């Protein structure tokens, strides 16, 4: 089974699948903690070397995951607090410069609700690159002077005919940011993680990830500057829904004398084998579909404020 | 199994499930024809009496379904032609008046792409109720004078706190239309039908139908005037995805000696029994999710033009 | 000049024009105070009787105006504070009930930025009418149980064919609120007041007011329940721009021997006479135009949050 | 007065102001024709040399203006016809290549209605750069194979912190188009021209032009490839409104014995002098405002379809 590769955008989901492979020796480390009275779970996954890459299919790097049920709910006070926590994790990954030029990229499709997280974050961003320092008060300059922020919503390939990476690469050439922060909607393997998880990684966006399945990656290698990726799972892979339901069916079969032994055959499959089986037999058109909650519009609104607020806290000197 | 009721918003899908129940004697009639060089399939389902209602779970009435693969594609010429066909079917259901007052209701959530069909249709509608006849040319008056058209996008319950039916009922009281045309996004049982099928029915919108699951119906009984419902399946029920995939898995199992007998047990279930089993064991949160194509934004744009054009053709005297 | 009537949506602007008419004896009272370290100016205008109505062209009632330069700027902390102040003024005008049913109406055109204030407020409103009290925690019930809130964005006549008043009247019949709160974009007479002034009045929306020039009013008389109107000037009347510029030209002419006497002739006109002259000679198509700031999109976003927050504070028990 | 420079985005408006300066000798040529039964007026202005540039403040190049009252109305048939005419004029300016790579840039602010023309055109564009030629039918390839089209909505400086020119320059570097077509909302000097005029120029977008007042230009010089600019006046300069009204006031004064002589003083000013006087004394904040029609949302929708259709006709081989 060493050759098996899990298809998930979330490093934190690796644990579930890779558990049997005693990952620590394999260049993968996990670390969990609970903060904010246990309401927020923070997981740090580090892929340390090529063995870790081999096992997980994820590039070497640091993946911080913040999970909280309340993220999908509209509790303004909670969102303000979690924004401050997230700001700290993002700031840690930013280059330490006297004046840091940041380009924030809102990936995804503004017109398709579950894929509109990135555009919504950029719409609410505090942009400073165009400000004339002459006109800023000394106080504002002291607070905001450390970052020069620009933002872009590149649009999706079906609407632009261009890869997001081509667009961002061009901007990097002409505007010369030190770092790119890319916001994207992700696909989860687990419905419980929908709109309740934020992943921050210093590895950029990899090919095939995201709701829109970026064909090219958006990484330091492809665009020339480091890329911090911030992702939130807003859809579930259709195969996951099938898999979860099958598990429940098998559990019921196990209670029947007649069906017990057959259920056992399938139970003996590993999770990854079952998932692979399903992906193989699922109707091909389902690969072009996503599963998303009915109140996704409210989730996107609420999550995008949490993230834009987290970023704005960094450059307004709030932390 | 007589008591079994299929959950689908599309009368045309009944055929598939009810086939074994020899529906004609049961008050259900089907009629199919191909038009436009076979590119468009038109099905008329008539639920004739309470026996038909009992069997299908759909109220007595006329259901016209227009199906065409090209509906989900962006071929402007085809869309213009199909708009004219659809206009004819809708016009047949409108009351014959010297001056017909029509209220078009765009159901669904403007902010959630797959549920935004209704609002998009109303946004592109030719509205005439507010026109002052004094200022119309004689030609325009002759052409458009037969309809007095108003339109509303009531919004969804989570955003208004009100049932669409409450809102429309109030409008019917104050503006006294002769007929309401309600446009809605539907859930399909079959992925092939997504964005390729338009259903026109004279029975209104029934409780529990639509992507948003209207709690109250929008019917002549509830609002006081006849309601023509125009629906397009833009999402698939998650249970359908599971069911379709399981079928494929069972087919594979049938080839294996070890698994053949197990597959047989499940194969012996009727489609409806299997679907019911899945709905029972599916994770409850999945009931609040929908499955939708990745390019749903383009589909909604294209379909909403087809429908608004169809309606505009009627009141601009084009047919 | 007693018969002269000023065309402005803002009671606070009356003062400037009516100053010469010794309004107190005439049934009009003004009261000003500065709060929040002088950063917010609050003016209360009371039209006390028909004499006041005659003079001002505004119906008997209470008009509270909150003015602050920072309202048009994006200072999140300030907006949160001013929301609380505004909440207090609005709450004073609400009926005192054990359980108050409120319908919030977002007037204006969602698709035309300066007229989109009302829709944007309703989009961010905390809606409670659809909540099932069974599922609310006791704490939430104690806090939010006093209000049952619904909201609607009726759309503008060009898009619906119906007057907003017709739509709201129907809703009042079917959902029976105790009070309607109507949010609207207004026209100001003074560019300095753009996006810096919020007017709260217990007299509803009067015919001819608002950016969209409501033909029918939205008042207790027309819809059957009291209407609290909340308005923000987001556009300026084109005649105002002309008038202000002409004043400046005349000031320059006064310095020239040749032009001094001409300037004097015009200077002798009262402000109202000059305004009336301009309205008369202005090109008719300009009557269908508005003057609005280039960053109106940011103003509307910021103001709509301030207002929706103010309302949400009331029903979440924050004051 | 030779040094006077008119501030207008429309070459066709030059005629009105420069008439007295016998432009032909000065390197400016005008040519007018009426087509489509006289319903469409086409004006070609050619700025031939630096003398022409000096006089008009516009760079050497070809400016084609298409004017029609019906452009601001919703007559679908007319719009389809005019799209075909416009397609011809645009095609003339495109480079003749066996395979022409075109990047369409939708300038302006998606969130501010009068400035949203460019984004709306790109939203409805037929994009081909991402199509895999392997999967195209031979017929489609023959028809569409001549153009490789990409599109971008760069956003405005207040939201991105970047000049549109910086963004486009980057894209030119990474995607190497042969030509850029830039769509923009313009300011007119004459209310009659609002939403009824389309200007196509081979000179690109110049600094200071457009509703958003681009600080940098978007020209062959700045981005490295030729730029075809397509602009529609959707707002009027506030100074224009003042000027037009003042003219009308002076006409009235001329009828009065007392005021006649003074009116004459002002009448003796040239149009340009009057306009300059007004711009000088107008309140500075008015410089940050625009005047726009109340039904601008419908105008933008209708005009954007006309333009996207014109472009789509070119690359779908329709002309």
Q: What is the pLDDT of residues C283-293, one digit of tens each?
A: 777 778 889 98
Residue D231 phi/psi, 5-degree rounding, is -130, 150
Max avg pLDDT among A242-251, B1-10, D75-84, D176-185: D176-185
- Picking from C114, C81, C84, the residue whose alpha carbon sits closest to that of residue C298 is C114
- Picking from A191, A228, A190, the residue whose alpha carbon sits closest to that of residue A86 is A228
User: For the residues B95-106, what does the mean pLDDT come to?
Assistant: 94
Q: Which residue of C has its CA nearest to D282?
A: C245
Q: Per the CB < 8 Å rule, is D152 touching A162?
A: yes
What whole-number distance in Å separates Cα of residue D121 and Cα of residue D107?
10
- Do the bridges between strand A179-188 and strand A147-152 make them parallel or antiparallel, or are there none, so unpaired? unpaired
Query: Residues, chain B, total?
Result: 319
- Between helix D238-253 and helix D257-267 the angle, nearest 10°, is 140
Residues of chain A in Cβ contact (below 8 Å) with chain D: 111, 122-123, 127-130, 148-155, 157-162, 166-167, 169-175
Residue C5 pLDDT: 40
Cα distances from C134 to residues B68, C129, D201, in angstroms, run 46, 13, 66
Planar angle of CA B47, B214, B61, nearest 5 degrees: 15
Distance from CA of B130 to the nearest CA of C (A): 5
What whole-number distance in Å separates Cα of residue B54 and Cα of residue B48?
11
Query: Is the pLDDT confidence value at A17 over 60?
Result: no
Residue C18 pLDDT: 58
Tell me the pTM.
0.90
What whole-number distance in Å separates Cα of residue A19 and Cα of residue A28?
11
Q: Per the CB < 8 Å rule, is C158 touching D295?
A: yes
The chains found to touch D (3+ Cβ pairs under 8 angstroms) are A, C
Nearest to A291 among B109, B291, B296 (CB): B291
What whole-number distance in Å separates Cα of residue B69 and Cα of residue D16?
55
Q: Which residue would you say has higher pLDDT here, B132 or B79? A: B79
Distance from CA of D247 to the nearest CA of C (A): 9
Q: Per the CB < 8 Å rule, is D127 touching A161?
A: yes
Lowest model confidence (mean pLDDT) among B113-122, C18-27, C90-99, C161-170: C18-27
Bridge partner residues of A289 (DSSP): B293
Lowest model confidence (mean pLDDT) among A63-72, A233-242, B263-272: B263-272
Residue C178 pLDDT: 97
Query: Is the pLDDT confidence value at B185 over 90?
Result: yes
Q: Per the CB < 8 Å rule, is A174 touching D173?
A: yes
Residue C110 pLDDT: 95
- pLDDT band of residue B209 (cuts 50, 70, 90) is confident
Q: Which residues contact A281 (CB under 8 A, 6 or more apart)?
A: B245, B248, B249, B252
- pLDDT band of residue C182 (cuts 50, 70, 90) is very high
Which chain C residues are within 8 Å of D113, Cβ to Cβ?
111-113
Distance from CA of D221 to the nearest CA of A (A): 15
| ipTM of predicted complex | 0.88
Query: Residues, chain D, total?
Result: 319
Distance from CA of A121 to the nearest CA of D (A): 12
Residue C135 pLDDT: 63
Burial of B44 (0-12, 13-18, 19+ CB in 10 A): middle
Q: Per the CB < 8 Å rule, is D169 touching A170?
A: yes
Per-residue pLDDT of chain D (319 residues; tens, 9 = 90+): 233 344 567 888 776 555 555 456 778 888 899 999 999 999 999 999 998 888 888 899 999 999 998 888 766 678 888 999 999 999 999 999 889 999 999 999 999 999 999 999 999 999 999 887 666 677 767 766 789 999 999 999 999 999 999 999 999 999 999 999 999 999 888 888 899 999 999 999 988 788 877 888 899 999 999 999 999 999 987 778 888 777 777 777 777 776 777 677 777 777 777 777 777 777 777 778 889 988 899 999 999 999 999 999 999 887 8
**Residue-by-residue DSSP string for C169-220:** HHHHHHH--SEEEEEEEEEES-GGGTTTEEEEETT-BPTT-TTTT-SS-BSH
CB A31 within 8 A of CB A44: yes
- Picking from D238, D244, D236, the residue whose alpha carbon sits closest to that of residue D292 is D236
| Residue pairs between chains C and D whose CB atoms are closer than 8 Å | 128
User: For the residues C73-100, what does the mean pLDDT come to?
Assistant: 88
- Greatest Cα pair distance, chain C, in angstroms, is 81
Q: Per the CB < 8 Å rule, is B160 touching C151?
A: yes
Q: Per the CB < 8 Å rule, is D167 touching A170?
A: yes
Cα distances from B198 to residues B232, C153, D11, in angstroms, run 5, 28, 49
Planar angle of CA B252, B253, B258, nearest 5 degrees: 145
Q: Which residue of C has its CA nearest to B167?
A: C171
The chains found to touch C (3+ Cβ pairs under 8 angstroms) are B, D
Q: Per the CB < 8 Å rule, is A159 touching D127?
A: yes
The chains found to touch B (3+ Cβ pairs under 8 angstroms) are A, C
The chains found to touch A (3+ Cβ pairs under 8 angstroms) are B, D
Q: Which residue of C has its CA nearest to B173?
A: C170
Query: Is the pLDDT confidence value at C131 over 50?
Result: yes
Q: How far is CA A205 from the centre of its chain?
A: 9
Q: How far is CA C63 from the centre of its chain?
A: 9
Query: Residues, chain C, total?
Result: 319
CA torsion, ordered A13, A16, A18, A22, to nearest 10 deg: 120
Residues of chain B in Cβ contact (below 8 Å) with chain C: 111, 122-123, 127-130, 148-155, 157-162, 166-167, 169-175
Burial of B135 (0-12, 13-18, 19+ CB in 10 A): exposed
- CA-only gyration radius of chain D, Å: 21
Distance from CA of C137 to the nearest CA of B (A): 19
**Residue-by-residue DSSP string for A62-128:** EEEEEE-GGGGS--HHHHHHHHHHHHHHHHHHS---SSEEEEEEE-S-TTSGGG-HHHHHHHT----
Residue A157 pLDDT: 93
Q: Which residues contact D194 (CB under 8 A, 6 or more apart)?
A: D72, D188, D233, D234, D235, D236, D292, D293, D299
Q: Which helix (H) or strand (E) holds B143?
A: helix B138-144
Nearest to A155 among D111, D152, D160 (CB): D152
Tens-place pLDDT, residues C212-253: 778 888 999 999 999 999 999 999 877 788 887 777 777 777
Residue D319 pLDDT: 80
Which chain D residues are within 8 Å of C250, Cβ to Cβ?
none
Max avg pLDDT among A93-97, B252-256, D249-253: A93-97
Q: How far is CA D88 from the centre of its chain?
A: 17
Q: Which residue would you say has higher pLDDT here, B148 or C191? A: B148
Distance from CA of A223 to the nearest CA of D (A): 11
Q: Which residue of C has its CA nearest to D213?
A: C294
What whole-number distance in Å separates Cα of residue B143 and Cα of residue B129?
14
Nearest to A281 among B245, B277, B278 (CB): B245
Q: Which residues contact B43 (CB under 8 A, 6 or more apart)?
A: B12, B30, B31, B32, B64, B65, B67
Query: Is the pLDDT confidence value at B17 over 60?
Result: no
Planar angle of CA B261, B266, B268, nearest 5 degrees: 95
What whole-number distance in Å separates Cα of residue C233 and Cα of residue A84?
35
Per 3-state DSSP, what percentage of chain C is helix, strand, and coil (rounded to 5)?
45, 20, 30
What whole-number distance in Å separates Cα of residue B135 and Cα of residue D179?
46
CB C13 within 8 A of CB C233: no
Q: Per the CB < 8 Å rule, is B158 touching C127?
A: yes
What whole-number distance in Å separates Cα of residue C125 and Cα of residue C145?
16
Q: Per the CB < 8 Å rule, is C112 touching D212?
A: no
Which chain A residues are within 8 Å of B296, Cβ to Cβ?
112
CB A234 within 8 A of CB B273: no
- pLDDT band of residue A189 (cuts 50, 70, 90) is confident
Which chain A residues are within 8 Å of D176, Cβ to Cβ?
none
Q: Which residue of C has its CA nearest to B101?
A: C161
Which chain B residues are within 8 Å of A239, Cβ to Cβ?
245
Residue A263 pLDDT: 74
Residues of chain D in Cβ contact (below 8 Å) with chain C: 109, 111-113, 115, 158, 191-192, 211-212, 236, 238-239, 241-242, 244-246, 248-249, 251-252, 258-259, 262, 265, 277-278, 281-283, 285-286, 288-298
Residue A78 pLDDT: 82
Residue B72 pLDDT: 80
Nearest to C129 among B154, B161, B173 (CB): B161
Nearest to D245 among C261, C281, C288 (CB): C281
- pLDDT band of residue A2 (cuts 50, 70, 90) is very low
Residue B246 phi/psi, 5-degree rounding, is -60, -40
Q: Which residue would you say has higher pLDDT here, B275 or D178? A: D178
Which chain C residues are within 8 Å of B166, Cβ to Cβ?
171, 174-175
Which chain C residues are within 8 Å of D211, Cβ to Cβ?
294
Nearest to B112 among A244, A281, A297 (CB): A297
Q: Is the C-alpha dihedral spanning C186, C190, C191, C194 positive or negative?
A: negative
Residue B66 pLDDT: 96
Which chain D residues are within 8 Å of C193, Cβ to Cβ?
none
Query: Is the pLDDT confidence value at B247 over 90?
Result: no
- pLDDT band of residue C4 (cuts 50, 70, 90) is very low
What whole-number distance in Å separates Cα of residue D175 and Cα of residue A133?
34
- pLDDT band of residue C16 (cuts 50, 70, 90) is low
Which chain B residues are within 8 Å of A276, Cβ to Cβ?
none
- pLDDT band of residue C24 (cuts 50, 70, 90) is low
Nearest to C170 among B157, B160, B173 (CB): B173
| Terminal Cα distance for chain C, rounded | 46
Tens-place pLDDT, residues B218-235: 999 999 999 999 999 999
Q: How far is CA D191 from the centre of its chain?
A: 15
What whole-number distance in Å separates Cα of residue C83 and Cα of residue C313?
8
Burial of B130 (0-12, 13-18, 19+ CB in 10 A): middle
Distance from CA of C48 to the nearest CA of D (A): 34
- Picking from A134, A166, A174, A167, the residue whose alpha carbon sits closest to that of residue A153 is A167
Distance from CA of D240 to the nearest CA of C (A): 10
User: For the residues C276-305, what does the mean pLDDT come to?
Assistant: 85
What whole-number distance in Å separates Cα of residue D119 and Cα of residue B280?
47
Average of per-residue pLDDT values in chain B: 85
- Between helix C271-281 and helix C238-253 the angle, nearest 10°, is 120
Q: Which helix (H) or strand (E) holds B233?
A: strand B227-236
Nearest to B149 among C157, C161, C173 (CB): C161
Q: Which residue of D has its CA nearest to C263?
A: D262
The CB-side HSE value for B167 (13 A sphere, CA atoms) comes to 29
């Amino acid at each position: 089974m060493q050759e098996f590769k899990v298809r998930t955008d979330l490093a934190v989901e690796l644990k579930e699948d890779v558990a049997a492979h005693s990952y620590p020796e394999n260049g993968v480390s996990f670390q969990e903690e609970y903060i904010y009275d246990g309401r927020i779970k923070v997981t740090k996954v580090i892929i340390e070397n090529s063995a870790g890459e081999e096992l997980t299919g994820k590039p070497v790097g640091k993946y911080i995951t913040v999970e909280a049920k309340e993220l999908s709910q509209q509790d303004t006070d909670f969102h303000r607090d979690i924004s401050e926590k997230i700001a700290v994790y993002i700031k840690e990954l930013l280059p330490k410069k006297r004046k840091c030029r940041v380009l924030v990229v809102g990936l995804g499709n503004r017109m398709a609700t579950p894929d509109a997280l990135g555009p919504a974050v950029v719409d609410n961003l505090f942009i400073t690159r165009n400000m004339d320092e002459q006109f800023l008060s000394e106080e504002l300059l002291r607070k905001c002077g450390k970052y020069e922020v620009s933002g872009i919503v590149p649009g999706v390939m079906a609407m632009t005919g261009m890869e997001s990476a081509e667009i961002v690469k061009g901007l990097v050439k002409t505007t010369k940011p030190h770092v790119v922060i890319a916001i994207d909607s992700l696909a989860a393997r687990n419905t419980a993680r929908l709109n309740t998880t934020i992943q921050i990684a210093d590895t950029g966006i990899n090919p095939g990830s995201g709701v829109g399945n970026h064909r090219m990656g958006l990484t330091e290698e492809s665009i020339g500057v480091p890329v911090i990726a911030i992702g939130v799972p807003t859809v579930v892979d259709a195969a996951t829904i099938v898999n979860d339901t099958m598990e429940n069916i098998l559990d019921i079969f196990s209670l029947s004398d007649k069906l017990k032994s057959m259920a056992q055959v399938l139970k003996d499959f590993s999770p990854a084998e079952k998932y692979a089986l399903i992906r193989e037999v699922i109707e091909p058109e389902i690969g072009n579909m996503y599963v998303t909650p009915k109140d996704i519009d409210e989730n996107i609104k609420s999550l995008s404020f949490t993230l834009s607020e987290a970023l704005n806290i960094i450059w307004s000197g709030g932390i």
